[in-house]
Amino acid sequence: MNLTLKVWRQSSPNATGRIETYEARDIPSEASFLEMLDIVNTGIIEAGNDPIHFDHDCREGICGSCSLAINGVPHSKESGITTCQVHMRKFREGDTIWIEPFRARAFPVIKDLMVDRSAFDRIIAAGGYIDVRTGSAPEANAIAIGKEDADDAFDAATCIGCGACVAACKNASAMLFVGAKASHLNTLPQGHAEKDRRVLAMVRQMDTEGFGNCTNQYECEAVCPKEISADVIAKLNRDYAAASVREVVE
């Protein structure tokens, strides 16, 4: 396959970015999107130029590192997959592909297609821990957990923190991410003791980081590679409202 790439290049966080054009020649249709970038980078390096910088790690849709917007859509128009799971057979011979970093004030560009998503780490850290005994594995049936609660917690826990939800939202809201991270602990009995403190701390840290407000248009749900439901946002709102009232009363 022969393709034309329009790639965002930015040498440093404070530098002025620009779109540069590259020709991607003889790309195998079975190659992944990141493998295609590897091939293009090989040619750029051989020509003595600076390669295109982008994040990657597992390349199996697990780590959430591959934060690219392809033709304006975080991870691509394909649903339920990350950038590294996009294959070139989804494109046509001669296509022009626009490749940009995730756009959000809370995700400043580091270089080219790499963004700093450490704001997510600080939100998780603000949530703290759960008070459970550590050591050997507990008996599986020691704490009774209903199947519906277990399923909901597991679904929320599949969030990989890639940031696609933020990049897709016109307000750069992190509510889907925060809702998922809070729900996967708050839904289980082990997380109930710190539930109020966790929700208040995570939402306030999210606001401090500069993420926008949610206006319930569900772009986040549409691009989430793990297809996490926006129901976690509704749950987060309810939990935050209840925790705020109890905080005032106490």
For the segment 170-194, what is each residue's pLDDT rounded down to a tens digit?
A: 999 999 999 999 999 999 888 888 9
pLDDT value of position 77: 94
The kind and range of the H/E element at 239 are helix 231-249
For 194, other C-beta atoms within 10 Å of its C-beta total 17
Q: What pLDDT was estimated at residue 122?
A: 97
The CATH number of 118-249 is 1.10.1060.10
Domain boundary assignment for the chain: 3-111, 118-249
What is the per-residue pLDDT across 83-111, written as a single tens digit (0 to 9) for each?
Answer: 999 999 999 999 999 999 999 999 999 99
Query: Pairing relation of β-strands 3-9 and 96-101?
Result: parallel
pLDDT at residue 128, rounded to an integer:
84
Residue 144 has pLDDT above 90, yes or no: no
pLDDT given for residue 192 in this prediction: 87
**Phi and psi at residue 19, to the nearest 5°:** -95, 130
- Kindly state the helix (H) or strand (E) to which residue 21 belongs, with its residue range: strand 18-24
Q: What is the pTM of this model?
A: 0.92
Domains 3-111 and 118-249 share a fold: no
pLDDT for the residue 143: 80
How is residue 3 written in tokens?
């393709």
pLDDT of 166 over the 80 cut: yes
Question: 3-111 is classed in which CATH architecture?
Answer: Roll (3.10)
Residues contacting 23, CB < 8 A, separation 6+: 2, 3, 4, 5
Give yes or no for residue 249 having a pLDDT over 90.
no
Closest CA to 84 of 110, 57, 111: 57
Q: pLDDT by residue (tens digit) across 61-84?
A: 999 999 999 999 999 999 999 999
Contacts 24+ apart (CB under 8 A), 53-61: 53/110, 53/111, 53/112, 53/113, 53/114, 54/112, 54/113, 54/114, 55/113, 55/114, 55/115, 56/84, 58/84, 59/32, 59/34, 59/84, 60/84, 60/85, 61/85, 61/225
How large is the average pLDDT for residues 206-222?
96
Per-residue model confidence as pLDDT tens digits over 131-142: 777 777 777 677
Task: Give percent of the chain with pLDDT exceeding 90.
Answer: 87
